[in-house]
A and B are shown apart, each in its own frame.
Chain A
């Protein structure tokens, strides 16, 4: 079981898909101006990544080589549709706000990336864990970005007012802010990674 723990840890930290591998940003940044939307989106991605990795690993031996990509896409789209139906049924207002971005989970590179790089070569259980924590790492980054943007842009967290008395920084709500915030996050984490590597080399 040690192995599963390692998979979990590296996926959230060292090999975090967004910050270290720069994958899967497409469908994500657009919803990071509100934390609630980021949370729902992140949970959706986690669900799809975990279960599609699991399914693909399960049937991997049976998939004919020439239609592998097609089957993978099919499986991913299947889970995305389930998420979409679920949101429409139980969280209709959030589903409306997320608009096309739920459907775009299909083209999120993380999911296909994990399917190809891990699920196709490993048994189902580790694949499930790998996909799940790749999604969790993704969720945490989305929450971090939206935390900064929602506080500065609206003065709220998850929609609850902080009681701050200031003029909201409109730019934070607008698209450019997402780029600035993620760029600073990447800067900080890569600087850490570089430092840790240097330390490791010296020791």
Chain B
């Protein structure tokens, strides 16, 4: 058996060098729509991270113990998206019942999350790259944290920018993309951080 990519490297890479938003463009819709205020942005970031880890783990089990043994690989997209939709529902009910404080904070974001590309994206990447359980866990954790970090940074900058005078066509999504581009450029600078292997 060939040596595997170390889970720790995957963890760091998925936060910095291959950030879900800045390098893989996943979860852009809610990233742009919910980033004008820092407080809501960080709430959404937390909710996405939580759901991302839970769904990736459940989908890993479903893929290896249900889809592969039954030879249903061609149905995997439907299965994954239904698992995600169901888990989000269950999570919402569970939080409403047992964690009302958390639900008050994150509850509003949960329905949005089902259609967040980052969630399904993490699952698909994990399957295509043949990650084992530990690799998948750290990959989804890193991806969630990376997504959270990116949306917080954008929101913080957009809050400040509310006071700036921009050319009329650039205000709104235009400038948000421009900032994201500059952030992505800065993150390219991280690509040398793991020489260890």
Contact A187 B169 (CB under 8 A): yes
Docked Cα-Cα span, A106 to B83, in Å, equals: 14
Q: Mark A180-192, 1 if CB is under 8 A from B, else 0.
A: 1011001111111
A25-B28, A81-B75, A191-B167 are known contacts. Are A179 and B121 too (CB-CB below 8 A)?
no
B149: Cβ under 8 A from any A Cβ:
no
A27: Cβ under 8 A from any B Cβ:
yes
Contact B115 A112 (CB under 8 A): yes
Mark the stretch among A52-60, A71-79, A155-163 that contacts chain B.
Answer: A71-79
* Contact of B181 (CB < 8 Å), options: A23, A28, A179, A191: A179
A26-B26, A26-B28 are known contacts. Are A187 and B167 too (CB-CB below 8 A)?
yes
CB distance from A124 to the nearest CB of B (A): 23
Contact A186 B177 (CB under 8 A): yes
* Contact of B74 (CB < 8 Å), options: A25, A81, A109: A81
Contact B120 A104 (CB under 8 A): yes
Mark the stretch among B8-16, B17-25, B96-104 that contacts chain A.
Answer: B17-25
CB distance from B187 to the nearest CB of A (A): 8
B40: Cβ under 8 A from any A Cβ:
no
Contact B32 A178 (CB under 8 A): no
Give the contacts of A11-32 with B (CB-CB under 8 A).
22-30
* Contact of A183 (CB < 8 Å), options: B27, B33, B120, B178: B178
CB distance from B36 to the nearest CB of A (A): 13
Which chain B residue lies CB-closest to A27?
B117
A99: Cβ under 8 A from any B Cβ:
yes
Contact A84 B77 (CB under 8 A): yes
Docked Cα-Cα span, A104 to B26, in Å, equals: 9
CB distance from B88 to the nearest CB of A (A): 11
CB distance from A51 to the nearest CB of B (A): 16
Contact A81 B27 (CB under 8 A): no
Docked Cα-Cα span, A27 to B124, in Å, equals: 12
Contact B22 A175 (CB under 8 A): yes
A104-B120, A175-B22 are known contacts. Are A99 and B170 too (CB-CB below 8 A)?
no
Interface of B is mostly: helix
Q: Mark A97-111, 1 if CB is under 8 A from B, else 0.
A: 001100110111100
A176: Cβ under 8 A from any B Cβ:
yes
Which chain B residue lies CB-closest to A193?
B169
Contact A23 B29 (CB under 8 A): yes
A4: Cβ under 8 A from any B Cβ:
no
A28-B25, A186-B177, A187-B167 are known contacts. Are A77 and B81 too (CB-CB below 8 A)?
yes
Q: Mark B158-175, 1 if CB is under 8 A from A, else 0.
A: 000000000111101111
Which chain A residue lies CB-closest to B178?
A183
B125: Cβ under 8 A from any A Cβ:
yes
Contact B29 A24 (CB under 8 A): yes
B93: Cβ under 8 A from any A Cβ:
no
B50: Cβ under 8 A from any A Cβ:
no
* Contact of B125 (CB < 8 Å), options: A100, A174, A187, A191: A100
A80: Cβ under 8 A from any B Cβ:
yes
A194: Cβ under 8 A from any B Cβ:
yes
Docked Cα-Cα span, A27 to B25, in Å, equals: 7
Chain A residues in 8 Å Cβ range of B124: 100, 103-104
Contact B22 A109 (CB under 8 A): no
- 8 nearest interchain CB pairs? A191-B169, A179-B181, A183-B177, A100-B124, A26-B117, A176-B184, A190-B169, A29-B25
Query: A residues bordering B, Cβ < 8 Å?
Result: 22-30, 69-70, 73-74, 77-78, 80-81, 84-85, 99-100, 103-104, 106-109, 112, 171, 174-180, 182-183, 186-194
Query: B residues bordering A, Cβ < 8 Å?
Result: 22-29, 32-33, 74-78, 80-82, 85, 114-121, 124-125, 127-128, 167-170, 172-175, 177-178, 180-182, 184-185, 188
